[in-house]
Each structure stands twice: as structure tokens, then as C-alpha cells.
Amino acid sequence: MIDWKDAPAAVPEGSRIYAIGDIHGALGKLRALHGMIAADLEARPCAAPLLVHLGDYVDKGADPRGVVRHLMAGSPCPALHLRGNHEDMMLAALTGDAGAVAEWLWCGGRHTVASWGWDAEAPQGWVPMPAERAFLEGTTLHHRAGGYLFVHAGIRPGVALEAQDPLDLMGIRHEFLNSEQDHGFVVVHGHTAGFAPVVKANRIALDTAAWSGGPLTCAVFEGERFGLMGAR
């Protein structure tokens, strides 16, 4: 069931975009939400659907590897996988750099290490399957469609999209969240968890803490309207 709302922007006619917030190892909720998307597509066929996962597939939750494998196996429609700061930290840690390893473990990486069956004290043994690593390395930073920009964390206000620092796209918080500036598009993002989605004139936030008891939230963008649905 989609809860339709007034949209602050529009997507091209004939397209439909589903955007899912931070997953963080919540495999059961991801499977349920993908099932809801599949049912919606069956009930309301669309010529050009796209599913955008906003990043942070790993860390914190119970089954990060299961989430990665599920995403690799396919989605209810063509899908685009954005890179979150947690995928970025994981890839940095896999190089073996001691500082990157320590940062990742401190930020929730131990759950991911456990889901892969690795020893947290032996980073030299952290070797994902080549296809899993390729999936993580193949994630992208943003996607633009109509009046929306899809990105993991947000953007630095006043900076052109092509000049944005990747670290801001994956990790910015206060400068972006506190801005009421018109960015030239509505930014659809995750990264900063809340009890419910946040809908403002210049941004829509979809991280609803699925890993710690909240729902996994999906926004649906279609023409000049958008709606919300979630899996608990």
C-alpha cells in the first residue's frame, strides 16, 4: 500500500523510480520490500521502472553479506546501487590499512566481519568473493532523474554537482540537513536516521533505522507525485 503525498518535483513521464533507504544488513525487510515493489509493478505495469538503493548495505545489522548477495542476485526491476559511507569504509579496510580497519570496526564493521565469517583480529584474512567485491566497487555516487537527485548522504550547498566531494556525497550531515537552499533539484537521501521519513521542499530523507527496529522505507516517484511504503 503506497501512501501518496504531494511531490516537490517530478520525474519524466512514463518512468517510475523506487528509492530504498539504508538497509544495514536488514535482509528480511529488504526481501519483504522487494516483494511489495514486485506486487506494485504487477498491479500497475510501468514501461521504464528503476529501483535505486541509496547505499549502506553493510554494517550494524544482522546479515550484511546476505543483503549483498540478495542485491547481486537481482531486483524486481532494473536497479542502481549507490555507495554509502559504510561501503566506502569497508573497501578502504579491505586494503589492509590499519587506520581504515580501525575506523570501519568502530563504525559497525564488526557485524559485517562476522557475517562473512572473518576474524576481526586478522584483517589480512578478509577476502570477499571476487563477485562480491566487484559489486561493492561497482556502486556509484549519485543518480539524477527529472527534478530529483538520488545520493547517499546529501550535497554541500552552493557547490555544483560535478564539483561535489565524494566524501560529502557519502557522509555530509549538518551543513546539508540544516540548509533550506534551493539546490536546483530535490535531494533524495539516506545516511541520517530518523523515526520517519523527512519530506521538505529541497530534500527527502529515507533512512528510518531498519537495522535497529525501524521500517525499511521506499519512496515511489511517478510523474508529479510520490508516495511512501515500508517493510517492518
- pLDDT digit string, tens, across residues 57-116: 999 999 999 999 999 999 999 999 999 999 999 999 999 999 999 999 999 999 999 999
Give the contacts of 133 (CB within 8 A, at least 6 positions apart).
Answer: 94
- pLDDT digit string, tens, across residues 1-24: 899 998 999 999 999 999 999 999
Nine cell digits for residue 124: 589480512
Number of other CB atoms surrounding residue 167 within 10 Å: 12
**Residue 33 and residue 230 in contact, taking contact as beta carbons nearer than 8 Å:** yes
| Reported pTM | 0.98
The distance between the two most distant Cα atoms of the chain, rounded to a whole number of Å, is: 52
Average pLDDT over residues 139-153: 98
- pLDDT digit string, tens, across residues 168-201: 999 999 999 999 999 999 999 999 999 999 999 9
The domain limits of the chain are 13-231
pLDDT at residue 145, as a whole number: 98
**Residue 134 and residue 94 in contact, taking contact as beta carbons nearer than 8 Å:** no
CA distance 129 to 51: 25
CA-nearest of 186, 194, 151, 198 to 172 is: 151
CATH code for the structural domain at 13-231: 3.60.21.10
pLDDT at residue 6, as a whole number: 87
